[in-house]
Chains A and B, each alone.
Chain A
Amino acid sequence: KQEVTQIPAALSVPEGENLVLNCSFTDSAIYNLQWFRQDPGKGLTSLLLIQSSQREQTSGRLNASLDKSSGRSTLYIAASQPGDSATYLCAVSNYQLIWGAGTKLIIKP
């Protein structure tokens, strides 16, 4: 059974720092991996989708990597800003999406 883990559950860093969020999964037989952002009390916004054949995807200050063999993905956020404060969720696709519990990120001004 696929399990997805995100560590840490919460992270607080000063504005301007580069940071990495982690996502690990137990079954490497995935179609893709997706990263989402969720603001408090709101729905989810898709950030990046990495196909199983890809190693990374970039969008602006965000870069997501995928290492299927080790069951790991990272989301790199460059030059963090207070507006980046949110919960970041990853999900792996294997017939259906299996979700991590998220990392709550706080960027301190």
Chain B
Amino acid sequence: DGGITQSPKYLFRKEGQNVTLSCEQNLNHDAMYWYRQDPGQGLRLIYYSQIVNDFQKGDIAEGYSVSREKKESFPLTVTSAQKNPTAFYLCASSTNHQGGRNEQFFGPGTRLTVL
């Protein structure tokens, strides 16, 4: 089955640690996205990638980093510089970015909690 997988489902981080969230897709999509979701707020874009070895900052990129070495994979690292990282993180993909016009497909999410 084609789809997007995210791991782990739950992640706990101590203060000062970097953690990496995994996102893999087998939909052969060029574009991939990372969003953050907080209670009572809309999703906010962290980073997106239109093609392998290319990525752009979204609205809230500070304290996060990404890489896109393979088409299928778009891992997100939450660094110690992110002051309030506790949130639900969603990865998505689309056939291509096309100015955000194309339908996006989402993974099941990772809930990150800072201890």
Residues of A with Cβ closer than 8 Å to B? 4, 9, 31-32, 34, 36, 41-46, 49, 89, 91, 93-102
Contacts and interface: CB of A to CB of B under 8 A. Distances in A.
B99 A93 contact: yes
Interface residues on B, range: 20 to 34
A16 B111 CA distance: 34
B107 A99 contact: no
Given A46-B103, A93-B100, A95-B99, A100 B109 contact: no
B99 A46 contact: no
Contacts of B99: 31, 93-96
Contacts, number: 59
B8 interface: no
A44 B42 contact: no
Given A42-B109, A44-B106, A100 B42 contact: yes
B100 A43 contact: no
B107 A43 contact: yes
Which of A49, A93, A97 is packed against the most chain B CB atoms within 10 Å? Answer: A97
B41 interface: yes
Contacts of A101: 40-42
A89 B42 contact: yes
A4 B90 contact: no
